[in-house]
Amino acid sequence: MALPVGLAPSAAAADVQSQQWYLSAMKADEMWKTSTGKGVKVAVVDSGVNPSTSSLRGQVLADEVPKSLSYGATKDSAGHGTTMAEIIAGTGQGGGLKGLAPGAKIVPYRIAGKELSLSEQNKAPDVAKVIRAIADSDVKIINMSFGDDIPYEDEEAAIKYAASKGKLMFAASGNGAQAKNKVEYPVSFPYVVGVAAVDKAGTVGKFSTHGYSVDLSAPGVDVPGWCDATFQSYCAHQQGTSEATAIASASAALIWSAHPDWTANQVLRSLIDTAGREWPKDTPSNYLGYGIIRPRKVLENPHYDPGSATADPLATENWRGKPGSSPSASASGSTPSAPAKSTPGGATSAADTSSKPSGNTLTWVVVGAAAALVVIGGAAFAVIRSRRRA
C-alpha cells in the first residue's frame, strides 16, 4: 500500500482534486447540472468537523446542534470527521476537497474516539442521544463512519426511532476484512445501510468488511483526505469504508435534493435499483451488496419511478417483519429479538473482513478481492461486499 503523501491545500488544489478520481468516474459534473444536494442536511457523527477549512466555510450548521450535545462538535479531534464532511459537501474552495454534493449542508456531532483523553471521552455526547436528537431535527441523512463490535441496545433503539422519523442512515461496513471479519455496529443494526469500499477498477478493497451487513458499495480506495487534526495538509492514497460511506451519503443527498417529496425508502430504493452489478438484484453480494452506487442513473431519468413511499427496500435484510411495513413512531422501545439482518448469498469472491477494538471509544480507520465488472457512471468497476472510524 502506498504511503500517504502530504499535500498542502493552498498550494496543491489541482493535485488534491485530481486525486478524487471518483468524481469523474461518477460523472459528477453532469449530475451537478441537475442537483448539487441543495436543501439537504447531512449529520456527520464522527470525530467532529472543522468548519474553518477552506472547503467547508459556510457549509457547517453548528448552531443546529443541541447545546447539550455540542461538546467538541466543531473541534475535530482526528481530521476524520472533517474529511467525511468535505467528501460529502466540500465546495473545493482554496484547494480543499470537492464534495460530491457541494450544495448540501453538514450538521456536525463529535462522539468519543480513542484519540481523546479519558476526560474528553467522558464529555463527548452519547451516540444514542445524538441519533435521537438528529431524528427530531430536519436532517435527512445520517453519516456514521464508525463501528464497534458491541451492539449497544440504546443505540439500536435510537436508530429504530430515527428510522421511524424518516431518516436515511449510512454506516461503514468496517476495515477488518484481513483480520477476523467481525460483525460491527451500527452497520449491522436494522435500518442502517451498510457500505463497502471499492477502488478505481471497481474491485472491493481487501480491507473492506464483507457479510450480511453490506447493502451497497462506493469508492473508498486511494482517495485524499486530511492527514490529521492539524489540518496542515491532505494525504494521498487514503482508503476505508468511511470514505465510501460519505460518498453514499452524498449520493443520497443529490437524489433527495432533486426529489424533495420522496421518502427515505424511495431514495434508498433508487440507489439499490440503479446500482452497478452483474448478478440478480434479489441476490445481493456479500462483498458489494446490491452493487456500486450510481446516482447519475436516477438523476438523468426524469421518469424514474421510486416505488412505494412506505415499502422498505431492505425489509428482508433488516428482519423488519412483513415486507412493506414501516417502523412506527413509537419505536423507542425494545428492538427485534431476531438477527438484525439476514445473511444474503451471492458472494462473488472469497475474502477476509472486519476487526474492531473493544471498549466504549471509537477508532477512525483510514487504510482489493476482485469480482465481476460493473460500470459506474461510465467507468469500469469490478465488484464483490472501544468503536472505530472505518
Which tens digit of pLDDT belongs to each residue from 141-177? 999 999 999 999 999 999 999 999 999 999 999 999 9
Per the structure, the count of domains in the chain is: 1
For residue 47, is pLDDT > 80?
Answer: yes
| Residue with more model confidence, 118 or 374 | 118
Query: What torsion, rounded to 10 degrees, do the Cα atoms 29, 33, 35, 38 define?
Result: 100
CATH at 137: 3.40.50.200
Give just the sign of the alpha carbon dihedral 62, 88, 236, 178: positive
pLDDT in tens, 296-341: 999 999 999 999 999 999 988 775 433 344 454 434 333 332 234 5
Count CB-CB contacts under 10 A for residue 114.
18
Cα dihedral sign for 151, 160, 385, 388? negative
Phi, psi for residue 231 in degrees, rounded to 5:
55, 40
Residue 352 lies in a domain: yes
pTM of the model: 0.84
Query: In the numeric block, which cell numbers belong to residue 356?
Result: 474492531
Asked whether residue 50 is domain-assigned, the answer is yes
User: How many Cα neighbours within 13 Å face the side chain of 197?
Assistant: 34
Cβ neighbours of 308 (radius 10 Å): 13
| 307 falls within a domain | yes
The SS3 call for residue 51 is coil
Cα–Cα distance, 48 to 61 (Å, whole number): 12
- Looking at residue 281, its pLDDT comes to 87
Cell matching residue 349: 469472491
Asked whether residue 1 is assigned to any structural domain, the reply reads no
Q: How far is CA 196 from CA 30, 131, 162, 355, in A?
A: 25, 22, 22, 14
Residues for the chain: how many in total? 390
User: 13 lies in a domain?
Assistant: yes
> Where in the sequence numbering do the catalytic residues fall?
46, 80, 242
pLDDT tens by residue, 225-235: 999 999 999 99
- Is 329 contained in some domain? no
Grid coordinates given for 131: 441519533
Q: What range does the domain containing 300 cover? A: 6-324+335-389
